[in-house]
A and B are shown apart, each in its own frame.
Chain A
């Protein structure tokens, strides 16, 4: 069985979510190939070639793949897909954009947000914001699957490098043009890759309120997350959002501050290893998923937490 994994990258670095997709791919087939489509991204192809379990890297280079449109990627992938039994990509906004388009061109169903593989054609995925999980069986000749990165470990680097084969780029489609990207600049780790996440909700009260979280995040080397309510209130940018329709995270430690715990938020973080909740409302649903709950006013608790962390971690 052969598997094609579509690599997510920024033309410089292979994204960690791609490594999780490669792990899922290795569970499905013995022949795992990775497609790296980009512009001036030979280093990404070389990195993908060194990942354990990868047997071949298909490298497609073109100026219009620098920030590829779903239209251009789907055409390239759909053409290549006939060689494979599975086509996988991370279930990120990158993969979610083009993968259904690929499936429709191939006239096959798509399996979104794979969290477990139960057989060559049996897949487990969350539905209803993770309040239920469905096992589905695919009858299609090519299985197009987006992989939830938090459900699969990152594939390690292997001892040898797989060959890199150049794949001819397809012409650019004039259906869509990328005009601009405004990316949030941050020194902190990326949310989906962070070992520790400090997240704030409506209880933070303001953008200034989030500064209290920043101090703690910096002390712990953590990423900052937020509930939808905090994003909607304009306290933080939209790419901080954790939840059903935001980012899905599963860090070693998730500290939820001033977050009530709507099911849509829990859907994005309930696979975290250890959950801490700090909230002044004792009845907040977040406490039901928290390993450690502290009922407290966050404006008192956070400065205390910062001081306590400074004290014990300095030792």
Chain B
């Protein structure tokens, strides 16, 4: 069984993003970039399924600027078998990404696509569901556990009130939530080995996809700052302020 894992290059989790002065977006020049943390969970899950003997091959795919190659190297160093880079300079929105991935699925024919539930840049939480819809496949979103069988996958999902377990017919799309697993640290020899693994590059045009952003970003701005508060010196003062100043008790 083959698993496809899409991975996105995003501003690193620990970077405090800055809005550009002209309001056109956020500052990305000279900013540390990393693999979207939810996609790391997806790669890790695929590797664990392979280690458990349920999966033969893991293909990582990334879509975007040539620099996404770095993100694919991370995926290969973690344990993906080969990688596919689909390049474009155009702005990509979830629906376009889903269409590109659908074309990749047509070439690769995986039994399972595992991907992050959302990217921490646009926070959309859409692509996995959109891909499943375009493919006519079942979806298991916000997964905290994945059990793979011959022709089905059972996914436990984190939902607002607790957990929900669904069984999907294969092929299917699963999106990873925070507690699916803990991604492994990459060992140095694996970084060297990753360079020997196959990485194929092609363009969005070669896949026959026309990218057409439907949402136009008019402006990006800073959120209104919270006014700074005060320090209180005791619990009694805190309760007094909450009752008589803030009037919330």
**Residues on A close to B: CB < 8 A?**
67, 69-71, 74, 92-94, 96-105, 107-113, 122, 126-140, 173-184, 192, 196, 220, 228, 231-232, 237-239, 244-245, 247, 252-253, 263, 270, 273-276, 287-296, 301, 304-305, 308-309, 312-313
Could you tell me if B177 and A245 are in contact, using CB atoms closer than 8 angstroms? yes
Could you tell me if B223 and A131 are in contact, using CB atoms closer than 8 angstroms? yes
Could you tell me if B215 and A179 are in contact, using CB atoms closer than 8 angstroms? no
Give Cα distance in the complex from A180 to B166, angstroms.
7
User: How many B residues touch the partner, as a band?
Assistant: 35 or more
Could you tell me if A70 and B139 are in contact, using CB atoms closer than 8 angstroms? yes
Give Cα distance in the complex from A308 to B168, angstroms.
53
Could you tell me if B242 and A276 are in contact, using CB atoms closer than 8 angstroms? yes
How many residue pairs, one in A and one in B, have C-beta atoms under 8 Å apart? 253
Taking the nearest CB of chain A, how far is it from the CB of B170, in angstroms?
A: 10
A-B contact pairs, 30 of them (CB 8 A): A70-B129, A70-B139, A100-B130, A104-B131, A110-B126, A110-B130, A126-B123, A127-B220, A128-B120, A131-B223, A132-B220, A134-B220, A135-B217, A138-B214, A180-B165, A181-B159, A182-B164, A184-B161, A238-B162, A239-B162, A245-B118, A253-B242, A276-B238, A276-B242, A295-B231, A301-B235, A305-B235, A305-B238, A308-B235, A312-B239
Most buried by B among A99, A130, A135: A135
B163 an interface residue at 8 Å Cβ cutoff?
yes
Give Cα distance in the complex from A97 to B177, angstroms.
13
Could you tell me if B141 and A94 are in contact, using CB atoms closer than 8 angstroms? no
Give Cα distance in the complex from A102 to B228, angstroms.
42
Could you tell me if B138 and A71 are in contact, using CB atoms closer than 8 angstroms? yes
Within residues 39 to 87 of chain B, which ones have a CB less than 8 A from any CB in chain A?
Answer: none
Give Cα distance in the complex from A229 to B141, angstroms.
22
Known A-B contacts A134-B220, A135-B218, A181-B164; the reply to A174 vs B126 at CB < 8 A is: no
Residues of A within 8 A of B234 (CB): 294
Give Cα distance in the complex from A253 to B139, angstroms.
37
Residues of B within 8 A of A309 (CB): 239, 249
Could you tell me if B238 and A292 are in contact, using CB atoms closer than 8 angstroms? yes
Give Cα distance in the complex from A259 to B94, angstroms.
33
Could you tell me if A108 and B169 are in contact, using CB atoms closer than 8 angstroms? no
Residues of A within 8 A of B154 (CB): 179
Known A-B contacts A100-B130, A105-B133, A292-B229; the reply to A132 vs B249 at CB < 8 A is: no
The one of B122, B136, B232 that contacts A293, using a Cβ cutoff of 8 Å: B232
Could you tell me if A175 and B138 are in contact, using CB atoms closer than 8 angstroms? yes
B19 an interface residue at 8 Å Cβ cutoff?
yes
Known A-B contacts A127-B220, A128-B120, A274-B242; the reply to A176 vs B166 at CB < 8 A is: yes
Residues of B within 8 A of A122 (CB): 218
Residue in chain B with minimal CB distance to A179: B165
Could you tell me if A291 and B246 are in contact, using CB atoms closer than 8 angstroms? yes
Within residues 90 to 110 of chain B, which ones have a CB less than 8 A from any CB in chain A?
Answer: 93-95, 98
Residues of B within 8 A of A130 (CB): 223
Most buried by A among B138, B161, B236: B161
Known A-B contacts A245-B177, A253-B248; the reply to A239 vs B161 at CB < 8 A is: yes
B179 an interface residue at 8 Å Cβ cutoff?
yes
Residues of B within 8 A of A127 (CB): 26, 121-123, 220
